[in-house]
Chain A
Amino acid sequence: MTRYKWRGIALHAVLVLALLVFMFPFVWTIIMASNTTADIYRFPPKFTFGGHFGDNVRQVLDNVAFFQSMANTATVAISTTLLVLFFDSLAAFTFAKFRFPGRNALFVILLATMLLPAQLSAVPQFQTMALLGWVGSLKALIIPGAANAFGIFWMRQYFQNSIHDELVEAATLDGCGFFGTYWHVALPSARPALAFLGIFTFVGSWNDYMWPLIVLTNPNHLTLQVALSTLNRSHGVDYSMVMTGALMAMVPLVIVFGIFARQFIKGATEGAVRG
């Protein structure tokens, strides 16, 4: 019995060590953000929390349009998420429960688009944005990502397994119509799948960096990631301030993830094993 007990302790010791390694950057970021840059530059460095967080926040706000960037990022992430949830689930429901000419061909095209890397379209896409007059505007970030192949593929699998054909037929017989059936029958039953796709899209959109860096040309109108990178480039030596900015940029996302963590992890790992 004691042998098993010791094995259990050793096991958890390794797992806790890994947990500390994964959590360490967050703790160290908070330590840097709550001290002055001089404290960080000391040897040995200061390992305790300090009282300068407020000052550092004020400095961040003086140097970048933080709240404007945060509002821009939130606008982009929320609009993209809502549009993706609506368009992807509607298309997925159609693929999963109805037959029509060209269905299989359209689905194969959808799958093929997932293999294409983003760089393949970046240059002409920038020209398209210029033609539309969207360069520097948040529309350039929201509209191209308003529907995606991954979400449709993922939701389709869910609809196929979770909604019985009889239910769709019954709703149609009750005079629900196609969109009515989608709205009243399909959507309510797909809540867990929508939760995963929603947070997946939100996180991806919040953290997106390369395309906003290319298309947002006005330095006063950026997303958080681009603003943070600008802050780092221009004030790189002022660690405590830059790390405060980094902390402020990631806290909202960690909170959102914390709320939905279980559903998100379940969704993220499920597909790999089933596929």
Chain B
Amino acid sequence: MTGTATVPAATTAPLTGKGQRPGRRIWSYWRFYLALSPFYVLFAVFGLYPMLSTIVLAFQRWDGLSARRFTGLGNFEFLVQDPTFWTALENTIVLFFMSTVPTLVIALLLAVMLQSAVRFTNVYRIAYFIPNVTSLVAMAIFFSSIFSTNFGLVNAALRSLGIPQQDWLGQPWGIKIAISTMIVWQWVGYNTLIYLAGLQAIPKEQYEAAKVDGAGPVRTLFSITLPQLRPVILFTVVISTIGGLQTFTEPQVMVGNSGGTGQSGMTVVLLFYRTAFLDNDYGYAAAIALSIFLLVLLFTAINWRIFRGRSDDR
């Protein structure tokens, strides 16, 4: 703020246009700053300050009661040697692929079909979207019930087909299948509608031109539909990445805070929650939180490179 009161606003902020006359002082814009202040004040108090504290906390040991002790890189050294952290990281990434790949493939197929459907499209759209607005906790309870060993619907179906029943929520792969089934169910509809909107934005002339050139449906899909849809696919991949790497509610409700048998439902966010709010090991939890942030940044950057890199070639 130094000197702004003596320097004309026009030189400190070379903006022209409505609402600004040369020589206006910064305080004459107070209404605008007041209008913006709620977000920035809330962010400073409940966003920025806690984030900076988390960074400091990651270099300390603290149980929430006794005095904080500075431990340097101690938490991070512990992190790289902690087998639970590596298990959680592996589970998170495996679950991310097990849920995202089927979700996006099914969504794309449904979107292509929905685009060529003429009737009932609004009924389909609303019904497909409902899982996405349904309570995660309620649905996690539902999916743990159908995957339950003795009375679950999945095992009842297997038994009626003569296949021996499985202890789904009691074994590592069963837990992962149950959790990713729920994520797929919840996210296919949302992504279908995103792809549908993307498909409808592709100019019809391109398809007509392809037809004139004698291109078949498969050729059209690979030379027009998918390349045109690339930015939309990038969007869905980024959204799925950010959400998938922060999976918490599904495993927490379905297999509990321990992560279930062999900790195979333990995700990094569940580990963070447990470390901070059940073990009260705040310093280590802060280190885990920072690693989640880096993980999200890394994956987003990878997505960006894969999809951007290809579109630059063209």
Q: How far is the CB of A94 from chain B (nearest CB, A)?
A: 4
Q: Across the interface, which residues of B come within 8 angstroms of A87, CB to CB?
A: 38-39
Interface residues of B in 87-144 (CB under 8 A from A): 110, 113-114, 116-117, 119-120, 122-131, 133-139, 141-143
Q: Across the interface, which residues of B come within 8 angstroms of A117, CB to CB?
A: 242, 246, 289, 292-293, 296
Q: Across the interface, which residues of A come within 8 angstroms of B188, CB to CB?
A: 18, 22
B156:A44 contact, CB within 8 angstroms: yes
Q: A28-B142, A123-B285, A124-B53 are in contact. Are A261 and B126 (CB under 8 A)?
A: yes
Tell me if A253 counts as interface (CB < 8 A to partner B): yes
Q: A94-B36, A102-B13, A272-B197 are in contact. Are A243 and B126 (CB under 8 A)?
A: no
Tell me if A152 counts as interface (CB < 8 A to partner B): yes
C-alpha gap A169/B253 in the complex (Å): 54
Interface residues of A in 210-259 (CB under 8 A from B): 210, 214, 224-225, 228-229, 232-233, 239, 242-243, 246-247, 249-250, 253-254, 257-258
B113:A128 contact, CB within 8 angstroms: no
C-alpha gap A103/B197 in the complex (Å): 32
Query: Which of A116, A118, A122, A147 interacts with B38 by CB under 8 Å?
Result: A147
Q: How far is the CB of B164 from chain A (nearest CB, A)?
A: 14
C-alpha gap A94/B288 in the complex (Å): 38
Q: Across the interface, which residues of B come within 8 angstroms of A232, CB to CB?
A: 137, 141, 253
Q: Across the interface, which residues of B come within 8 angstroms of A210, CB to CB?
A: 248-249, 269, 273
Closest chain A residue, CB of each to CB of B46: A144
Q: Across the interface, which residues of B come within 8 angstroms of A19, CB to CB?
A: 123-124, 127-128
Query: Which of B12, B57, B130 interacts with A101 by CB under 8 Å?
Result: B12
B156:A100 contact, CB within 8 angstroms: no
Tell me if A14 counts as interface (CB < 8 A to partner B): yes
Q: A106-B40, A117-B292 are in contact. Are A15 and B114 (CB under 8 A)?
A: yes
Tell me if B50 counts as interface (CB < 8 A to partner A): yes
Per-residue interface assignment for chain A, residues 92 to 109, with 1 indicating a CB less than 8 Å from any chain B CB and 0 otherwise? 011101111111001001
- B interface residue count range (under 10 / 10 to 19 / 20 to 34 / 35 or more): 35 or more
C-alpha gap A213/B136 in the complex (Å): 13
Tell me if B314 counts as interface (CB < 8 A to partner A): no
Q: Across the interface, which residues of A come within 8 angstroms of B242, CB to CB?
A: 117
Across chains A and B, the number of contacting residue pairs, with CB separation under 8 Å, is 277
Query: Which of A22, A28, A118, A253 interacts with B189 by CB under 8 Å?
Result: A22
C-alpha gap A247/B40 in the complex (Å): 38
Q: A113-B47, A125-B46, A239-B151 are in contact. Are A100 and B185 (CB under 8 A)?
A: no
Tell me if A111 counts as interface (CB < 8 A to partner B): no
Most chain A CB atoms below 10 A, which of B124, B127, B135:
B135
C-alpha gap A11/B277 in the complex (Å): 50
C-alpha gap A87/B34 in the complex (Å): 11
A123:B19 contact, CB within 8 angstroms: no
Q: A100-B32, A239-B145 are in contact. Are A120 and B193 (CB under 8 A)?
A: no
Main secondary structure of the interface of A (DSSP, over half): helix
Closest chain A residue, CB of each to CB of B152: A45
Q: Across the interface, which residues of B come within 8 angstroms of A123, CB to CB?
A: 50, 53-54, 57, 276, 282, 285-286, 289
Tell me if B70 counts as interface (CB < 8 A to partner A): no
Give the number of chain A interface residues (Cβ < 8 Å). 97
C-alpha gap A126/B280 in the complex (Å): 12
Q: How far is the CB of A175 from chain B (nearest CB, A)?
A: 15
B130:A12 contact, CB within 8 angstroms: no
Q: A123-B54, A152-B39 are in contact. Are A41 and B285 (CB under 8 A)?
A: no
Q: A11-B117, A25-B185, A270-B197 are in contact. Are A265 and B39 (CB under 8 A)?
A: no
C-alpha gap A162/B153 in the complex (Å): 51
Query: Which of B51, B119, B285 interacts with A116 by CB under 8 Å?
Result: B51
Q: Across the interface, which residues of A come within 8 angstroms of B126, CB to CB?
A: 258, 261-262, 265
A229:B253 contact, CB within 8 angstroms: yes
Q: A115-B297, A144-B42 are in contact. Are A15 and B246 (CB under 8 A)?
A: no
Tell me if B222 counts as interface (CB < 8 A to partner A): no
Tell me if B177 counts as interface (CB < 8 A to partner A): no
Q: Across the interface, which residues of B come within 8 angstroms of A29, CB to CB?
A: 138, 142
Query: Which of B12, B39, B133, B135 interacts with A149 by CB under 8 Å?
Result: B39
Per-residue interface assignment for chain A, residues 78 to 91, with 1 indicating a CB less than 8 Å from any chain B CB and 0 otherwise? 00000000011011
B193:A265 contact, CB within 8 angstroms: yes
C-alpha gap A225/B138 in the complex (Å): 8
Closest chain A residue, CB of each to CB of B291: A119
B50:A249 contact, CB within 8 angstroms: no
Tell me if A269 counts as interface (CB < 8 A to partner B): yes
Q: Across the interface, which residues of B come within 8 angstroms of A250, CB to CB?
A: 134-135, 138
Tell me if A206 counts as interface (CB < 8 A to partner B): yes
Closest chain A residue, CB of each to CB of B131: A22
* Residues of B in contact with A (beta carbons under 8 Å apart): 4, 9, 12-13, 15-20, 26, 29, 31-33, 35-36, 38-40, 42-43, 45-47, 49-51, 53-54, 57, 64, 110, 113-114, 116-117, 119-120, 122-131, 133-139, 141-143, 145-146, 150-151, 153, 156, 159-160, 185, 188-190, 193-194, 196-198, 201, 231-232, 235-236, 242, 246, 248-249, 252-253, 256, 269, 272-273, 276-277, 282, 285-286, 288-290, 292-293, 296-297, 300
12 residue pairs from A and B, CB less than 8 Å apart: A25-B139, A41-B151, A90-B38, A115-B297, A120-B293, A121-B47, A123-B285, A225-B135, A253-B133, A262-B122, A268-B193, A272-B197
Identify the 3 closest CB pairs spanning chains A and B, nearest first: A121-B50, A101-B13, A124-B50
